[in-house]
């Protein structure tokens, strides 16, 4: 984690901390000094007034806020103090280009407050992580920010947020309205099932520039995989990473092989761990990679009962004298 703000001038340091020293709040002075070095706060030691002082220090520093990282900064997800802390931090959050709030106990109420803050300054934020917060349908409020044409968000991580089919539909609608900025999307560990088909409408949009899509353990069905691969056939040149691990795709992986053999395909990391991939599907992958071997860097097949077929896949690739870019991992 990089520093959010630094104070290079000794005079600035004295000015910022002088009042706190006069009040005898040495613990907060030490916390802020440590935070400015490492980017982390021991939140359990801070009172409500101390949080206010911290926000004041961050906002009055002259350095630009580039990254705000408070991952796992709460001890209890249902702690009512979480909301108070988040409210105090909103002025800092909306000035940051990268906001990391994974596993912070952000509630539906907190998501609404966060959305309101981001809506007031939608063009600044580039990265947002809210993974492992039980946001459920309140995440739809956040997607209203994505819909704003001023929004330039490039990376969105929402793993294990309890997103429903309705939430996925709202996300899809927002991205259809403003599809050209998002580069990374993580929806892993949300039970999306067939609603993944809705994302396919975004992927096949020629304006879509998504490069990394993670859908680990989302309950993706054969039908969902079919829709995804159909979309990628329509718009194959942007996606670089696709993680479908933990979805029981079985023979539907053969559909992905059709995408991989397209010479326009630039997919370098297809992850298919624990997908129930069959020997027949692995044979289809082998055939596809013989046709278009130059881009692949990682092929994750660990957790599939493939017997000898995975060995055949790797050996076929290694025997190709024209392939200068070997598969780096086959797990």
Q: Could you tell me which residues are beta bridge partners of residue 100?
A: 69, 129
CA distance 253 to 20: 61
Q: What is the pLDDT of residue 173?
A: 94
CA distance 149 to 152: 8
Tokens of 273: 């761990």
Residue 126 lies in a domain: no
Specify the pLDDT at position 26: 57
Flag whether 235 is in a domain. yes
pLDDT band at 237 (very low <50, low <70, confident <90, very high): confident
Asked if residue 118 has pLDDT above 80, the reply is: yes
- Which CATH number does the domain housing residue 229 bear? 3.80.10.10
State the pLDDT at residue 95: 82
- Residue 221 lies inside a defined structural domain of this protein: yes
Mean pLDDT of 244-267: 91
pLDDT at 124: 87
Determine the average pLDDT of the residues in 258-266. Answer: 88
**Mean pLDDT, rounded, of the chain:** 79
Q: Which two tokens stand for residue 253?
A: 């992986």
Higher confidence at residue 53 or residue 237?
Answer: 237
As a residue count, the chain comes to 331
Strands 155-157 and 184-186: parallel
- Asked if 114 and 90 count as a contact pair (C-beta separation under 8 A), the reply is yes
Specify the pLDDT at position 91.
84
The answer on pLDDT for 22 being more than 50 is no
How many angstroms separate the Cα of 267 from the Cα of each of 178, 208, 282? 23, 15, 17
At 329, the pLDDT band (50, 70, 90 cuts) reads very low
Q: Residues 149-162: pLDDT tens digits?
A: 999 999 999 999 99
Greater confidence (254 vs 43) lies with 254
Top pLDDT among 216 and 292 is at 216
pLDDT value of position 210:
94
Average pLDDT over residues 315-327: 47
Q: What is the pLDDT of residues 52-81, one digit of tens each?
A: 676 776 666 665 667 777 765 554 555 666
Could you tell me if residue 221 is left (phi over 0), alpha (psi between -120 and 50 degrees) or otherwise beta? beta
Residue 259 clears pLDDT 70, i.e. is over it:
yes
In a domain, 256, yes or no: yes
Note the Cα 107 to chain centre separation in Å. Answer: 19
Would 54 be classed as within a structural domain? Answer: no
How many folded domains does the chain comprise?
1
* Residue 249 domain boundaries: 215-331
Both ends of the chain: CA-CA distance in Å?
29
Residue 328's pLDDT is 44
Q: What is the 3-state secondary structure (H, E, C) of the chain?
A: CCCCCCCCCHHHHHHHHHHHHHCCCHHHHHHHHHHHHHCCCCHHHCCHHHHHHHHHHHHHCCCCCCEEECCCCCCCCCCCHHHHHHHHHHHHHCCCCEEECCCCCCCHHHHHHHHHHHHCCCCCCCEEECCCCCCHHHHHHHHHHHHCCCCCCCEEECCCCCCCHHHHHHHHHHHHHCCCCCCEEECCCCCCHHHHHHHHHHHCCCCCCCCEEECCCCCCCHHHHHHHHHHHHHCCCCCCEEECCCCCCHHHHHHHHHHHCCCCCCCCEEECCCCCCCHHHHHHHHHHHHHCCCCCCEEECCCCCCCCHHHHHHHHHHHCCCCCCCCCEEC
| Residue 304 near residue 276, CB atoms below 8 Å | yes
The whole-number pLDDT of residue 5 equals 40
Q: Which residues contact 113 (CB under 8 A, 6 or more apart)?
A: 83, 86, 87, 90
Say which residue, 12 or 157, is predicted with more confidence.
157
Residue 117 within any structural domain of the chain: no
Within-domain flag for 167: no
Written as six digits, the tokens of 308 are 């000898």
Cα 74 from chain centre: 20
So what's the pLDDT on residue 217?
Answer: 97
Tokens of 68: 């705000």
What is the model's pLDDT at position 310? 57
What are the Cα distances from residue 131, in Å, to 66, 135, 322? Answer: 20, 9, 42
Q: Is residue 310 a part of any domain in this protein?
A: yes
What's the pLDDT band for 288 if we cut at 50, 70, 90?
Answer: confident
pLDDT of 145 > 90? The answer is: yes
């Amino acid at each position: 984690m990089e520093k959010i703000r630094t104070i290079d001038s000794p005079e600035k340091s004295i000015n910022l901390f002088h009042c706190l020293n006069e009040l005898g709040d040495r613990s907060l002075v030490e916390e802020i000094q440590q935070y400015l070095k490492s980017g982390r706060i021991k939140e359990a030691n801070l009172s409500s007034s101390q949080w206010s002082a911290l926000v004041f220090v961050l906002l009055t520093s002259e350095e630009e806020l580039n990254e705000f990282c408070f991952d796992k900064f709460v001890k209890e997800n249902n702690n009512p103090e979480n909301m108070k802390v988040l409210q105090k931090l909103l002025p800092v959050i909306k000035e940051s280009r990268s906001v990391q709030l994974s596993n912070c106990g952000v509630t539906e109420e907190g998501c609404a407050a966060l959305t309101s803050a981001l809506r007031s300054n939608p063009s600044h934020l580039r990265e947002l992580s809210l993974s492992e917060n039980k946001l459920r349908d309140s995440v739809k409020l956040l997607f209203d920010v994505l819909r704003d044409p001023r929004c330039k968000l490039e990376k969105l991580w929402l793993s294990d947020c309890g997103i429903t089919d309705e939430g996925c539909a709202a996300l899809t609608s927002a991205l259809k309205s403003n599809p050209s900025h998002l580069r990374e999307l993580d929806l892993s560990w949300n039970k999306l099932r067939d609603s993944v088909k809705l994302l396919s409408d975004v992927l096949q949009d020629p304006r879509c520039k998504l490069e990394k899509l993670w859908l680990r353990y989302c309950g993706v069905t054969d039908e969902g995989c079919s829709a995804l691969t159909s979309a990628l056939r329509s718009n194959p040149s942007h996606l670089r990473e696709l993680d479908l691990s933990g979805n029981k795709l079985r023979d539907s992986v053969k559909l992905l092989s059709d995408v991989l053999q397209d010479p326009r395909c630039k997919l370098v990391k297809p992850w298919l761990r624990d997908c129930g991939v069959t020997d027949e599907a692995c044979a289809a992958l082998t055939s596809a990679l013989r046709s278009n071997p130059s881009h692949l860097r990682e092929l994750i097949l660990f957790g599939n009962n493939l017997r000898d077929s995975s060995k055949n896949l790797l050996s076929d690739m290694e025997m190709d004298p024209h392939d200068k870019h070997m598969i780096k991992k086959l797990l």
